[in-house]
């Protein structure tokens, strides 16, 4: 079984299609998981939702998804992100908003728990430090968990009872073992680790490995759509620098 693990697609169709092409090179995918923020920031929320639904992706809701479907307000967003988040909802039809609203915050798939931020605060927490990782390990009932939200690609293991973060770049593979593990595939549609290429994880169930990948995509086209939609130009500019 080959499963693509995606997060933070953020309405970026170019990046999503590039990831799907890349993930499909080794044969058909048996599944796809998406740890939230399918929409937000980018120009094509409806197209991204349509594609993920067509692929029967297993998804959890992120903060941007909850704003777009009206389940969350924009009080905790910065002004430009808030404006873009509301714009996203306006582009969607009733059916698409209903699909977002139906998504759970947490779901368990085999040995993995999927959640956008963290199990302590699914919509909001950036799991990027030892304290947050400890809290996740405490709440995690499966051996492994997958998060998103920070748009950073990494894993966390427990070494002598302490969490240890390791950044993961292109083509890095980790073998799944007996110990607890937290992984973040990075962001498909808006990477923030200085590498503008779309990030995702390929999970090979038979081999029990996870491989992080980075995939080039047509950034200029995604930028042109953001500008064309009248969204904040910074949302287009940041795609080129991966910040």
CB of 192 to Zn ion, least distance (A): 9
* Residue 8 interacts with Zn ion (CB under 5 A): yes or no: yes
* Residue 193 interacts with Zn ion (CB under 5 A): yes or no: no
Smaller CB distance to Zn ion: residue 66 or 176?
Answer: 66
CB of 116 to Zn ion, least distance (A): 8
Exposure b/e, 7-36, CB count within 10 A at least 16 = b: bbbbbbbbbbbbbbebbeeeeebebbbbbb
Among 37, 44, 96, 155, binds Zn ion (CB under 5 A): 37
* Residue 125 interacts with Zn ion (CB under 5 A): yes or no: no
* Cα distance between residue 136 and residue 150, in whole Å: 15
Smaller CB distance to Zn ion: residue 14 or 37?
Answer: 37
Beta-bridge partners for 88: none
The two most distant CA atoms of the chain are separated, in Å, by 52
* Cα distance between residue 145 and residue 150, in whole Å: 15
* Residue 44 interacts with Zn ion (CB under 5 A): yes or no: no
Which range, of 31-39, 94-102, 107-115, 132-140, touches Zn ion by CB under 5 A? 31-39
Report the interhelical angle of 45-54 vs 79-91 (nearest 10°).
60
Q: Summarize as ranges the residues that interact with Zn ion (CB under 5 A).
A: 8, 37
């Amino acid at each position: 079984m080959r499963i693509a693990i995606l997060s933070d697609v953020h309405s970026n169709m170019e990046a999503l299609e590039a990831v799907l092409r890349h993930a499909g090179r080794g044969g058909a995918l048996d599944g796809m998981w998406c740890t939230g923020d399918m929409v937000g920031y980018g120009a094509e929320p409806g197209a991204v939702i349509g594609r993920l639904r067509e692929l029967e992706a297993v998804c959890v809701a992120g903060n941007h998804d909850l704003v777009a479907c009206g389940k969350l307000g924009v009080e905790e967003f910065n002004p430009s992100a808030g404006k873009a988040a509301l714009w996203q909802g306006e582009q969607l039809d009733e059916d698409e908003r209903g699909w977002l609203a139906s998504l759970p915050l947490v779901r368990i798939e085999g040995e993995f728990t999927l959640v956008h931020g963290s199990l302590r605060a699914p919509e909001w927490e950036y799991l990027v430090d030892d304290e947050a990782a400890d809290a996740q390990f405490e709440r995690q009932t499966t051996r492994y968990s997958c998060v998103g939200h920070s748009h950073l690609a990494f894993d966390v293991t427990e070494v002598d009872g302490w969490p240890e973060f390791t950044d993961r770049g292109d083509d890095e593979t980790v073998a799944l073992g007996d110990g607890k593990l937290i992984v973040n595939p990075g962001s498909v549609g808006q990477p923030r680790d200085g590498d503008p290429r779309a990030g995702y994880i390929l999970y090979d169930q038979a081999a029990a490995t996870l491989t992080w990948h980075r995939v080039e995509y047509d950034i200029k086209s995604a930028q042109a759509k953001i500008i064309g939609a009248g969204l904040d130009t910074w949302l287009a500019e940041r795609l080129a620098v991966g910040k």
